């Protein structure tokens, strides 16, 4: 850690050798288990005292922290915590460790140490966070899934919080192509929360990376989640917000990202939907607007191999007409009457389209999926190209000659 870069920082951070050495490591196990004192309060003490062991001693002597913290600081056995951490397959990565993610060092109040399972992400510097509402719509879930999948195919790491809804869908998208994904938990790594994501968290533990700043055994707590969100934002070069209602946690993550000088990207939604509140507000404040994963990949300046591009399924005439007839969630009756075909025929074609993922049934009405939109764009492009007579599509999927990033790359140090 070069000291110059720390010197220009307007906020104090951990001493350069905080957590180095065996004694300091042992102290960090105990410090990570204290529930009443956050990095924000701990950093000034650490700066003053110099090492983790001295910081712990300071608390144990009763100079800082709550009474509970002081009692725990005296009583907790670091070796016991270390054993539990090891038992759940995690290891402690301290501030001085080479494994400590560099981009996390640049935020205010970084954790002094994190628990981590699995291999550290191969490309954590180009990690992208995908966050959003837990109670999301089907199209939001699809958008998150496609973004997770696309980022993974482009070799980036998908970071999220393993919550239900958008978080889970983005992890699933990455896992669906065996890509790398990282989940930051608001509890100890052996406490999978929420319980609905238990299975997902286990899979991420096997195939990706789990991160938490809390000691094993720590239960989830309300104030852990905003703190968790700062790590999500801090790990990533960009944060994508898919859906979020007013006052949701995704706004906090996005605000952290802005504060850290990272990019904020929002998936545009309908102005009438309550779940578009956060993305639209962020766009007004300058976030980058994307419609689908392709926009995001363009903006990041990355490409995915053409073979991996969504399979080009041929649509027959009836299917195309019905797909083009759906501008908003539509009843089959209306499609039948406007296209002049019978209801059973429309239902049949819709079913074919649904099985291939081009439409979905939401409460009895049918809407088109992002996959259908991507397909339609491709179709238009193809017909345009054949009209121009340029048979070139191998070099670039979007027609732009070379990928160039519109979003700033993260400072690698």
State which residue, 262 or 360, has the beta carbon closest to other proteins. 360
Which of 333, 380, 382, 411 forms a contact with other proteins (CB under 8 A)?
A: 333
185 touches other proteins (CB under 8 A): no
Q: In angstroms, rounded to a whole number, what is the distance separating the alpha carbons of residues 161 and 225?
A: 9
Q: In angstroms, rounded to a whole number, what is the distance separating the alpha carbons of residues 311 and 397?
A: 13
Which of 71, 80, 87, 138 forms a contact with other proteins (CB under 8 A)?
A: 138
Q: In angstroms, rounded to a whole number, what is the distance separating the alpha carbons of residues 164 and 92?
A: 27
State which residue, 361 or 378, has the beta carbon closest to other proteins. 361
Which of 126, 181, 209, 369 forms a contact with other proteins (CB under 8 A)?
A: 369
State which residue, 59 or 336, has the beta carbon closest to other proteins. 336
CB atoms within 10 A of CB 271: 8
Cβ burial of 372 (10 Å; 0-12, 13-18, 19+) is buried
State which residue, 301 or 357, has the beta carbon closest to other proteins. 357
145 touches other proteins (CB under 8 A): yes
329 touches other proteins (CB under 8 A): yes
| β-bridge mates for residue 241, sequence order | 131, 266
Of 193-212, binders to other proteins (CB under 8 A) are: 196
Q: In angstroms, rounded to a whole number, what is the distance separating the alpha carbons of residues 201 and 399?
A: 38
As measured in angstroms, the least distance from the Cβ of 173 to other proteins is: 8
DSSP of 327-375:
SSSB-HHHHHHHHT--HHHHHHHHHHHHHTTSEEEETTEEEE-HHHHHH
CB under 8 A: which stretch of 41-49, 72-80, 106-114, 353-361 binds other proteins?
353-361
226 touches other proteins (CB under 8 A): no
177 touches other proteins (CB under 8 A): no
Nearest partner of 403 among 121, 143, 154, 149, judged by Cα = 154
Which of 172, 263, 292, 299 forms a contact with other proteins (CB under 8 A)?
A: 172
State which residue, 3 or 195, has the beta carbon closest to other proteins. 195
350 touches other proteins (CB under 8 A): yes
Instruction: State the helix-helix crossing angle for 332-339 and 343-355, rounded to 10 degrees.
Output: 120
Q: In angstroms, rounded to a whole number, what is the distance separating the alpha carbons of residues 334 and 314?
A: 25
Positions that interact with other proteins (CB under 8 A): 134-135, 138, 141-142, 145-146, 149, 164, 169, 172-173, 176, 196, 272, 274, 329, 331-334, 336-337, 343-345, 347-352, 354-355, 357, 360-365, 369, 371
């Amino acid at each position: 850690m070069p000291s110059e870069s720390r010197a220009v920082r307007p906020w104090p951070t951990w001493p350069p050798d905080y957590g180095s050495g065996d004694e300091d490591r042992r102290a960090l196990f105990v410090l990570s288990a204290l529930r009443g004192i956050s990095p924000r309060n701990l950093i000034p003490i650490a700066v003053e005292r110099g090492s983790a062991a001295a910081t712990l001693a300071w608390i144990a002597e009763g100079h800082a922290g709550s009474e509970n913290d002081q009692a725990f600081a005296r009583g907790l056995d670091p070796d016991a915590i270390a054993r539990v951490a090891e038992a759940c397959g995690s290891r402690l990565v301290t501030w001085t460790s080479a494994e400590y993610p560099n981009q996390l060092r640049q935020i205010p109040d970084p954790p002094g140490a994190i628990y981590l399972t699995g291999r550290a992400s191969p490309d954590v510097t180009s990690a992208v966070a995908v966050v959003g509402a837990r109670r999301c719509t089907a199209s939001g879930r699809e958008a998150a899934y496609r973004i997770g999948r696309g980022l993974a195919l482009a070799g980036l790491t998908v970071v999220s919080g393993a919550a239900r809804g958008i978080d889970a869908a983005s992890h699933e998208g990455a896992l669906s192509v065996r890509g790398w994904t990282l989940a930051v938990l608001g509890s100890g790594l052996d406490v999978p929360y929420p319980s609905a994501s238990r299975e997902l968290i286990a899979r991420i533990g096997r195939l990706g990376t789990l991160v938490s700043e809390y000691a094993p055994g720590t239960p989830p707590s309300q104030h852990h989640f905003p703190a968790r969100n700062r790590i999500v934002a801090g790990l990533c070069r960009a944060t994508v917000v898919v859906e979020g209602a007013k006052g949701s946690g995704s706004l906090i993550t996005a605000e952290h990202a802005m504060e850290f000088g990272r990019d904020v990207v929002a998936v545009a939604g309908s102005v009438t939907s309550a779940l578009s509140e956060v993305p639209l507000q962020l766009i007004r404040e300058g976030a980058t607007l994307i419609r689908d994963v392709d926009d995001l990949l363009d903006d990041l300046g990355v490409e995915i191999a053409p073979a991996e591009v969504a399979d080009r399924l041929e649509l027959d005439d009836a299917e195309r007409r019905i797909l083009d007839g759906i501008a908003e969630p539509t009843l089959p009756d209306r499609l039948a009457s406007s296209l002049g075909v019978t209801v059973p025929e429309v239902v049949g074609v819709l079913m074919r389209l649904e099985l291939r993922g081009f439409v979905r049934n939401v409460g009895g009405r049918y809407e088109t999926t992002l996959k259908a939109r991507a397909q339609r764009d491709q179709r238009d492009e193809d017909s345009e190209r054949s009209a121009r007579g340029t048979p070139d599509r191998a070099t670039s999927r979007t027609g732009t000659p070379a990928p160039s990033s519109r979003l700033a790359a993260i400072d690698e140090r």
